Structure 1
Amino acid sequence: MPRLAANLSMMFNELPFLDRFEAAAKAGFKAVEFLFPYEFPAAELKRRLDGAGLQQVLFNMPPGDWAGGERGIASLPGRQAAFRDGVKQALDYAAALDCRLVHCMAGIPPAGTPFATAAAVYAANLAWAAEQASSAGVKIAIEPINHRDMPGFHLNTMAQGAAVIAAIGAERIGLQFDIYHCQITEGDVTKRMEAHMPIIVHMQLADVPARNEPGTGELGWEFIFRRIDALGYQGWVGCEYRPAGETVAGLAWRARFGV
């Protein structure tokens, strides 16, 4: 049975962020993930985790100017110094939260940037980040994201992600397999899952097309969950979806699909 982690950036939005930890634990979750921790002191986040008996399994590196439209800066030419500062900040939080996995968003290169240029910057930045993270006992995850939600995002397909991981080394960097993004960009979700399972370090779920909870869209979740088990996946599956209604009421899908 897949191990589910609540995504506190999307779920339990009826509550202030710091109160979502306890709410997730009361709803039966043993672990959480979220987008960015940097608005809050690491010590306070750790206090909330410990108080609720939760494990932190994933968060993202600083994304750059999120309000200005940046979605990560790893592939952006000229932002290497800011990227390295962000890696250091993320690793400080990872140590404080006892989190062994950090997601590095590829980003949206400026219009007119040749793909080869962005790819070279991305590879060099990831290699440096992976070396720093490995020394700290942390693994870097990279996630292909669809162009409908993030037009121009540098990393789109699972095969692209696998090629990057092969170049840098699967011992230091792994694939974040988001079922929602995969279905929109490529489809054939369980076959791609099967092909890349050896390098998958984290999974996330949401139904398509509205990014709500499983059972609200087009995907066959009974089969997907069976395949996750059959393929021997041992990591966490982040519930990175927007509840269609009230969060706790919407969690009935777990009983429906036996997870």
Structure 2
Amino acid sequence: MPRFAANLSMMFNEVDFLDRFDAAAKAGFTAVEYLFPYDFPAEMVAEQLRNAGLSQALFNLPPGDWAKGERGLAALPERRDEFRQSVAKAVDYGQIIGTPLLHMMAGIAPHDDPATIASYRDSVSFAADAAGVAGIGLVLEPINSRDMPGYFLNDFNRAADLMADLSHPNIKLQFDIYHRQIIHGDVLVALEQMMPIIGHVQIASVPKRHEPGTGELDDYRIFAALDALGYQGYVGCEYRPAGGTLEGLDWLDKV
């Protein structure tokens, strides 16, 4: 059975963010992930995590101005200095909170423009080096263009090719099953082929991004495949509950 991490940005929204740690632990989770911790001091987040007896799976680097639609800075050459400052902030938070992984969002930018390609490659190497010094891994996640139009990294094969080209031991693939199905399909074959480079997995049903088992995929077969492939990391539950969070957790009893 995979190890599941509750995504506190999407789940347990019935309570304030800092109260979601305890709520997740009481619901039976042993680990959590979320988009961003930066609205709170890192020490405060670490205390909530510790008091709830939870492990941290990962969180994201600062994305720029999220409210204005920014989704990362890595592929934006004109934001290079701001990006590097965001890396330092994320690594500092990561060390205090104790995360093994940081996810670096690419940003809204053309994926075929030489300037954005060069910026992204430079950003990946810079962030991986900075995180590596702190003993933290860096993961890259392709995101589908339906949910996030114009997102720079919207192809799993391109992500894998970049990782192979850079050959940086600190960089892994964040394999989101929801995004994979929408972009390419062929989830089980891709998991088998890409397992050596996968550092984190996330799950949500397709197409409505609700609880596993409520969409077009056989999510339980996917969980069994992860076990068979020897996946040892967490599976982040990055889904939007169709109703109340607790009422929707009966899917866990079927795994």
Shorter-chain TM-score tier? over 0.9
Who is 2:129 aligned against?
131
Q: Are positions 1:41 and 2:37 aligned together?
A: no
**1:64 alignment counterpart:** 64
Does residue 93 of structure 1 match 2:93?
yes
Question: In the aligned structure 2, how far is the partner of 1:86 from the partner of 1:57?
Answer: 19
Between the two proteins, the alignment pairs up a number of residues equal to 255
Give the alignment of 1:235-250 within 5 angstroms. 235-250=233-248
Kindly indicate whether the alpha-carbon contact (under 8 Å) linking 1:5 and 1:239 is maintained by their aligned counterparts in 2: yes
- Map of 1:12 onto structure 2: 12
Residue in 2 that maps onto 1:27:
27
Give the 3-state SS of the residue equivalent to 2:39 in structure 1: coil
- Letter in structure 2 aligned against 1:115: D
* Alpha-carbon distance in structure 2 between the residues aligned to 1:58 and 1:244: 24
Instruction: Verify: 1:222 aligned to 2:220, yes or no.
Output: yes
Kept in 2, the 8 Å contact 1:72–1:107? The answer is yes
Contact 1:170 / 1:199 at 8 angstroms: preserved in 2?
Answer: no
**Equivalent position amino acid for 1:32 in 2:** V
Q: Could you tell me which amino acid in structure 2 is paired with residue 242 of structure 1?
A: R
1:76 match = 76
Q: Residues 158 and 192 of structure 1 are in contact (CA less than 8 Å); yes or no, is this contact kept in structure 2? A: no
Code of the aligned partner of 2:133: S
Task: Report the AA paired with residue 153 of structure 1.
Answer: Y
Aligned-partner Cα distance in 2 for 1:202–1:114: 26
**1:139-189 deviations in whole A, cap 9, x for unaligned?**
110000000000011111211111111122241100000000000010001
Give, as a single letter, the amino acid of the residue that structure 2 aligns with 1:221.
D
Offset at residue 241 of structure 1 (A): 0.2
Q: In structure 1, what is the Cα distance between the partners aligned to 2:104 and 2:179?
A: 16
Structure 1 stretches of at least 4 aligned residues deviating more than 6 Å after TM superposition: none
2:163 match: 165
Q: Distance in 2 between matches of 1:103 and 1:36?
A: 10
Secondary structure of 1:67 counterpart: helix
Give the distance between the partners of 2:105 and 2:147, measured in 1 at CA: 14
Determine the C-alpha separation between the residues in 2 that align with 1:28 and 1:106.
33
- SS of alignment partner, residue 199 of structure 2: strand
Structure-2 residue corresponding to 1:152: 150
Aligned to 1:190: 188
Gaps of 5+ in 1: none
Distance in 2 of aligned mates of 1:133 and 1:83: 14
Q: 1:203 aligns with which of 201, 204, 223?
A: 201
TM-score by length of 2: 0.98
Equivalent pair of 2:213/2:220 in contact (CA under 8 Å): no
Per-residue CA distance 1:19-67 (angstroms, 9 max, x = gap): 0000000000000000000000111101100100001110000001111
CA contact (8 A) 2:59 2:101 kept: yes
Residue aligning to 1:254 = 252
Unaligned runs of 5+ in 2: none
- Tell me, in whole angstroms, the C-alpha distance in 2 between the residues paired with 1:18 and 1:248: 17
Say which is worse superposed, 82-91 or 169-178, in terms of deviation: 169-178
SS state at 1:15 partner: coil
Aligned 8 A contact 2:74 2:120 in 1: yes
TM-score after normalising by structure 1: 0.96
Work out the CA distance in 1 between the residues paired with 2:247 and 2:194. 34
Q: Share of identical aligned residues, percent?
A: 56
- CA offsets per residue over residues 76-104 of structure 1, 9 Å max, x none? 12111000000000000000011110000
SS of 1:212's partner is coil
**For residues 25 and 41 of structure 1, what CA distance do their matches in structure 2 show?**
21
Q: CA deviation at 1:115?
A: 2.4
